[in-house]
Chains A and B, each alone.
Chain A
Amino acid sequence: MTETQSEVSVEDEPRAPNNVEVRVAANLEQLSVLRAVAAHIAMREDFDLDAIADLKMAVDEVCSTLIMRATPGSTLTCRFQANGNDITVQATVLSDSDSTPSRESFGWRVLTTLTDTVNTWIAPASADPGGYLTHIELVKRRGSASG
Chain B
Amino acid sequence: MTRSHSPQTNAPGAARDGYDHLMPLFEELAALDEHDARRSELRDQLVTAHLPVAQHIARRFSHHGDLREDLTQVATLGLINAVDRFDPHRGTDFLSFAVPTIMGEVRRHFRDASWSVRVPRRLKELHLSITAASTELSQRLGRSPTPSEIAKHLKLSKDEVYEGLEASNAYHSVSLDHVLLQDSDAVSLGDTLGEDDAALEGVDYRESLQPMLRQLPERERTILILRFFGNMTQTQIAKRIGISQMHVSRLLSRTLEELRKGLLEER
Q: Which residues of A contact B (CB under 8 A)?
A: 36, 39-40, 43-44, 46-54, 56-57, 60-61, 64, 68, 104-107, 109-110, 113, 143-147
Contacts and interface: CB of A to CB of B under 8 A. Distances in A.
Given A47-B146, A49-B146, A61-B256, 19 more contacts: A39-B166, A48-B144, A49-B134, A49-B246, A50-B234, A50-B235, A50-B245, A52-B165, A53-B245, A53-B253, A106-B203, A106-B259, A107-B260, A107-B263, A109-B203, A110-B256, A144-B143, A145-B142, A147-B233
Looking at chain B's contact residues, the main secondary structure is helix
29 contacts: A36-B169, A39-B166, A40-B166, A43-B147, A43-B162, A43-B166, A47-B146, A48-B145, A49-B165, A49-B234, A49-B246, A50-B143, A50-B144, A50-B235, A53-B234, A56-B253, A60-B257, A104-B204, A106-B209, A106-B228, A109-B203, A110-B228, A110-B256, A145-B142, A147-B143, A147-B144, A147-B233, A147-B235, A147-B236
Nearest to B227: A113
B14 interface: no
Interface residues of B, number: 36
* Of listed A44, A54, A105, A106, residue having the most chain B CB within 10 A: A106
B146 A113 contact: no
B31 interface: no
Interface string B186-222: 0000000000000000011100010000000000000
Contacts of B165: 39, 43, 49, 52
A51 B146 CA distance: 9
Interface string B244-258: 011001001100110
Nearest to B237: A50
A128 B161 CA distance: 47
Contacts of B142: 145-147
B157 interface: no
B141 interface: yes
Contacts of A52: 165
Contacts of B148: 46
Contact of B263 (A47, A51, A106, A147): A106
B233 A50 contact: yes
A56 B256 CA distance: 12
A145 B141 contact: yes
Contacts of A48: 143-146
B176 to A, nearest CB: 19
Contacts of A109: 203, 228-229
B40 interface: no
A61 B218 CA distance: 23
Contacts of A53: 234, 245-246, 249, 252-253
A48 to B, nearest CB: 5
Contacts of B263: 105-107
A57 to B, nearest CB: 6
Contact of A146 (B143, B169, B231, B253): B143
Contacts of A39: 165-166, 169
B37 interface: no
A84 to B, nearest CB: 14
B140 to A, nearest CB: 12
The 7 closest A-B pairs by CB, nearest first: A49-B144, A53-B249, A50-B144, A147-B143, A48-B144, A46-B146, A104-B204
Contacts of A47: 146
